[in-house]
Amino acid sequence: MDPDLTRRLKRQARALGFDRVGIAPAARPPDYDRFREWLDDGREAGMGYLREHAEARAHPDSILEGVRSVVMVSLVYGAGPSAAPRPAVGKVARYARGEDYHHAVRGRLEYLIEWLKAEAPGVSARAVVDTAPLLERDFARLAGLGWIGKNTLLIDRKLGSFTVLGALLVDVDLEPDEPHATSHCGTCTRCLDACPTDAFDGPNRLDAGKCISYWNIEHIGPTPDGPAADLHGWAFGCDVCQDVCPWNRKAPPGRAPELAPRDDWSAPDLIEWLGRSKGDWKRALRRTAMRRTRREGLLRNAALLLGAERRVEAVPALAARLADRREDPTVRAAAAWALRRIDAPEARTALDAARDDEDPAVREAVAGAGSG
């Protein structure tokens, strides 16, 4: 155990811009069994990778052999509430409105690794930012950074929950922090009550198959009728359960310049999305978290939202996507779904032209699937 190295490492982490830093011992996560129960209940929806790598999450030594300590860090992101829905304008979760948080956190962690190796030659370390089998929120609680709220997110009493986490796994014994042993949610259930799709059936009980963020980020391919009509204006992610949390009322805005929200992602024009070229999309998505859903997923979401709102002014853009046989079938099927919900002669004409389309997903959508 090296208390002096621990203090200097924490000081360096804060100097690099992290808002919080804490240390947990490398051990079996306390909530691992609950995670396995969640999987056994089939609540992961289509995220098969969680089940595939479930065993690896039982201990961080699956990521770094000989790991002794887990340094947990957090960065506050974004500023201001989610934009109020307006005609043809979508909503994007705060964390995705700036540069990709993976780059912002990982870059700082890599600098921290360089510093640590200079201070303690021979040390092995690995930076983890949401891409390795680690129960980050569990280790953040063990490191004293906060508690797990009823919406399953980490809540910091001073920073709130609009934070992204990173971890630095090291093979040296650092002085651990006291775990955050208490919850400060009390009897409040605002996050559970506010969920527009009833994705929670109790505290800490999230059904991913009902979560908006699952359907507009993780899900690949055409969207079933129910979720397609139930995105509530969200083009990427969802912040509802965080927007209503009392602990976020006085939370500070983010300080990391990379995570500052961009105007074009804060309130995107969904009709413009549909008409944007592939080259423009490639440039726009560079170094953003929205790359995970890719252009095809975002266009699918835009079409579904415009159809759910029955935006007549979107018909030309939707018809163009449906008519383009080079377009991804998922996008074309979403455009057909949207056009069937819009009562306009141009929409019916576009659907009639695609009635014998060669792609089965498009034919199904044109024939009436999800006509609502």
Token digits of residue 87: 């005609």
Residue 219 · residue 212 · CB < 8 Å = no
E strand or H helix at 235, and its extent? strand 234-236
Tell me whether residue 239 is one of the annotated catalytic residues: no
Q: Which whole-number Å values give the CA distances from 182 to 27, 100, 155, 156, 220, in the listed order? A: 20, 32, 11, 12, 38
H or E segment to which residue 282 belongs = helix 278-285
- Give CA angle at 70 (64, 72), nearest 5°: 130
Assess contact for 35 and 135: CB atoms under 8 A.
Answer: yes
Q: For 260-372, where are the E strands, in sequence order?
A: none
User: Rounded to whole angstroms, what are the CA distances from 82 to 92, 195, 228, 242, 367?
Assistant: 8, 15, 21, 10, 36
* CA-closest candidate to residue 370, choices 227, 235, 236: 227
- Compute CA distances 217 → 101, 221, 236, 280, 335, whole Å: 16, 11, 6, 20, 18
User: Residues 248, 192: contact at Cβ < 8 Å?
Assistant: no
Task: State the residue for tokens 């070229």.
Answer: 277
Residue 19 backbone dihedrals phi, psi, to 5 degrees: -80, -35
Interatomic CA distance for residues 370 and 372, integer angstroms:
5
Other beta carbons within 10 angstroms of residue 251's beta carbon come to: 20
Considering the candidates 31, 61, 130, 269, report the single residue annotated as catalytic. 130
Cα dihedral 206, 245, 101, 224 sign: positive
Helix (H) or strand (E) holding 128: strand 125-128
295 by Cβ neighbours in 10 Å (0-12 / 13-18 / 19+) ranks as buried
Residues serving a catalytic function are 130
